[in-house]
Structure 1
């Protein structure tokens, strides 16, 4: 299991593309579930932590709130 650290505002790329064609998502909530917003169409999704970790291909950009 990965030990990746995510923060609100990070941009991540998923393994599969969204039906709108976008593959970059902004993390908007972290906890038991992750909430992410598609940067292309604005769609919000919620995924359990385990599924989120499996779906993420790479971290594109870290948030500027550090």
Structure 2
């Protein structure tokens, strides 16, 4: 699986959020990755290594306007 992700991408994580979904939007990248729950809007920040380990699938890629 290709684990290249960028800002605005919608990703699926291995563990489900307590609100019932496992879809997240990436809102910040760097040494840490900040993700926002698509269902309830909760924002969490994970170290990049933990994020990559928990990443299951990239559902939607954000279009890049060049």
TM-score clears 0.5 = yes
TM-score where L is the length of structure 2: 0.91
1:18-57 Cα offsets, whole Å, 9 max, x none, are 0000110000000000000000000000000000001110
Question: Which runs of 5 or more structure 2 residues have no equivalent in the other structure?
Answer: none
CA RMSD of aligned residues (A): 1.5
Q: Where does structure 1 differ by over 2 angstroms across 4 or more consecutive aligned residues?
A: none
TM-score where L is the length of structure 1: 0.91
Structure 1 pair 55–61 and aligned structure 2 pair: CA distance change class (3 A): same
Corresponding residue of 2:43: 44
Question: Which runs of 5 or more structure 1 residues have no equivalent in the other structure?
Answer: none
CA drift at 1:3:
6.4
Q: Aligned pairs, how many?
A: 65
